[in-house]
Amino acid sequence: MEQYKKEFIDFMVECKVLKFGSFTLKSGRHSPFFMNAGAYVTGSQLMRLGEYYAQAIHANFGDDFDVLFGPAYKGIPLSVATTIAYSKLYGKEIRYCSNRKEAKDHGADKGLLLGSDLKDGDRVVIIEDVTTSGKSIDETYPIVAEAAKVKVIGEIVSLNREERAPDLGADGKPQSALERITEKYGFPACAIVSMSEVVEQLYKKGSEGVITDEIKAEIDAYYKEWGV
């Protein structure tokens, strides 16, 4: 596992973004872990978060893109922080763009988008916090595609939960949320880290690790039911 991935996993725990216990997800599933990107609240946390995203984008997509699109609401600070980090780490000036939940009808920046406009020919990477079902992109992609004749290079999230999306794949088999996005829209959907990498990093047999034997058993049972 790459060093930045190990550091990011520890960072999520340190910031209390990744928690273990008993949680009810939006989907109604009962999960032994939960990730809340809204817990990144300080300047230093957002700076480091942007750098981890930038490293993952660089590793997965290289530098061949122009705009980082972060859907409202959590995608807005993610896109801003990562755009700054990308300039710092790789010397590449990319633009950030986000959407409003409701179009602004006055002023010089009226319309649905804030930040940079999307232009014909732009190559776009979409950035989100996490996706469980893969269906959030069904709202985001039309916004991007209708704004201009752009090419979506890919999507990046922080954590691949590696669990079944509601829809089966074209082959009739279960697929993950990220696999659903790739199959439906034709661009790769990646994550900074996967849940299996989180377990690899945090589990130590006994009770010394962040993931104890008890938590590991709960995670294993969850993936036996919902994993892909």
The neighbouring-strand residues paired with 189 are 155
Catalytic residue chosen out of the listed positions 16, 30, 88, 104: 104
Q: Is 89 helix (H, G, I), strand (E, B) or coil?
A: helix
- Residue 90 three-state SS: helix
Distance CA 134, CA 194 (A): 15
| Rounded Cα gap, residues 57 and 149, in angstroms | 22
What phi and psi values does residue 85 have, to the nearest 5 degrees? -65, -35
3-state secondary structure of 156: strand
Q: Is 106 a catalytic residue?
A: yes
> Of 26, 101, 106, 205, which one is the catalytic site residue?
106
Contact 155, 134 (CB under 8 A): no
Q: Which helix (H) or strand (E) holds 146?
A: helix 137-147
Contact 226, 163 (CB under 8 A): yes
Q: Rounded to 5 degrees, what are φ and ψ at 34? A: -150, 140
Q: Report the chain's terminal Cα–Cα distance, integer Å.
A: 21
Active-site residues, by number, are 104, 106
